[in-house]
Structure 1
């Protein structure tokens, strides 16, 4: 088990991104929070189900006969399992790989290629969670696996990484010239074909360019500019739109559009 374990993704735009794997500690902390929320939800369900069952005891007997108690237990168990699985599926799908616990622990589930997970991946992870928790099998797989995957991750093709928060800090510097030109870009180009993943790549470049060698930074900025121009069908740029300036203007224009 590594103290710090990293994973690298290469985007379709050939941009290499590096993230830190979540680790057993962060994942355990997130699970404790999620289970507290789940426990409260299941207690409320149990109380409500008991009240309804007592009030409708005659109705249940008419439907299920002498086996009404067994049927009520079976229905309660199935509903409990649906709540248990549905909690993780709902939040991980809606919040792009995060549950309330994961959000507080600042970790996130993504696919093996770095893309956000969907309903299929979230469902597979949730359905296999009971197997992972049996005899702490998932914990052993996380601790001793190179990419810290439990069984659900192996089947769903996902990994858990530390979530990065993007803020308007000193690492993302937008020039004043770009601030004055992004409005012009909105007038001459349609940014609607740009997907959130495309915007994420631009944002990642703008944040990391300061640590790049000049030659690599120039080549990557030019490559990204050409790809973005092709996506938004912009054949020619004004003379004052250098690649970095263009990407900064796209960043501001995209945010304005959102």
Structure 2
């Protein structure tokens, strides 16, 4: 019996990845943290807005009629509500795009939003999830939807094509052995390449492939290694990266370098 559901995804690189879903408890805990942080922001913004609005009305009241003063107050209230909604949506969009599918709450709980193909969530997915969040929060509708589908998707996830997964905690992922040549190349990569362009999902694809490539036929292994190595060069914006080295060595080097740089996040 499993405490958390698992889902198997096929990436565009034809690599099969298995993820453990976050679970409703982790998602609720992360959302609580995010709402606390958002509420603190709201208090500060509301205070500033109130002081500015009062000052604005005081300045304009002597030169406006009572009717225009009333209209001004209504406009101020309307603009305040729109600003609050924009900040509500913007909080989740900003962090999920900038932190590769995580908000402060999700990072604390160690969960992440990804697309249905295993890729990181981008702006369209984050925006759609955030816009639909009020509907999901309505009378706990999102909770009910999550409980009654195996992929644990709320309405925003269904329409955005996303999943919320549990990441491996620090120390859980066993480091794969790589040859010394790959380790030496990895040291060069750490100095020459910005590995932040790789997402955790990109790393997971490399790791999964390295775990299984020995079971592939030699011709298929060479083809897939070449394909993944070229995709890595494009992702890292390094078209000349180790062109003279075997593709499998490039993959091993990137894997090792990423482990060295971000091992505490994996």
TM-score, reference length from structure 2? 0.76
Map of 2:130 onto structure 1: 126
Matched, 1:91 2:98: no
Question: Shift of residue 109 of structure 1?
Answer: 0.8
Q: Secondary structure at the match of 2:113?
A: strand
Map of 2:198 onto structure 1: 196
1:117 to 96, 117, 121: 121
- When the two chains are superposed, the root-mean-square deviation of aligned CA atoms in Å is 3.7
Map of 2:19 onto structure 1: 19
TM-score, reference length from structure 1? 0.78
Matched, 1:53 2:53: yes
Q: Secondary structure at the match of 2:119?
A: coil
Q: Secondary structure at the match of 2:14?
A: coil
Q: Secondary structure at the match of 1:12?
A: coil
Structure 2 CA distance for partners of 1:151 and 1:185, relative to 1, 3 Å = closer
Structure 2 CA distance for partners of 1:57 and 1:104, relative to 1, 3 Å = same
Map of 1:143 onto structure 2: 147
Question: Shift of residue 124 of structure 1?
Answer: 0.9
- Structure 2 unaligned blocks of 5 or more: 234-238, 261-266
Question: Shift of residue 80 of structure 1?
Answer: 1.0
Q: Would you say the 8 A contact 2:229–2:250 is kept in 1?
A: no
Q: Would you say the 8 A contact 1:199–1:251 is kept in 2?
A: no
- Structure 1 unaligned blocks of 5 or more: none
Map of 2:6 onto structure 1: 6
2:165 to 139, 154, 161: 161
Report Cα offsets for 1:15-59 as digits up to 9, x if no partner.
Answer: 111001111101000000000001101111111112122222234
CA distance in 2, matches of 1:38, 1:229: 41
CA distance in 1, matches of 2:174, 2:87: 43
Map of 1:205 onto structure 2: 209
Q: Secondary structure at the match of 2:141?
A: helix
Structure 2 CA distance for partners of 1:112 and 1:236, relative to 1, 3 Å = closer
Report Cα offsets for 1:84-131 as digits up to 9, x if no partner.
Answer: 111111111111111101111111111111111111111111111111
Question: Shift of residue 219 of structure 1?
Answer: 7.2
How many equivalent residue pairs?
A: 245
Map of 1:152 onto structure 2: 156
Structure 2 CA distance for partners of 1:42 and 1:174, relative to 1, 3 Å = same
CA distance in 2, matches of 1:15, 1:69: 58
CA distance in 2, matches of 1:185, 1:41: 40
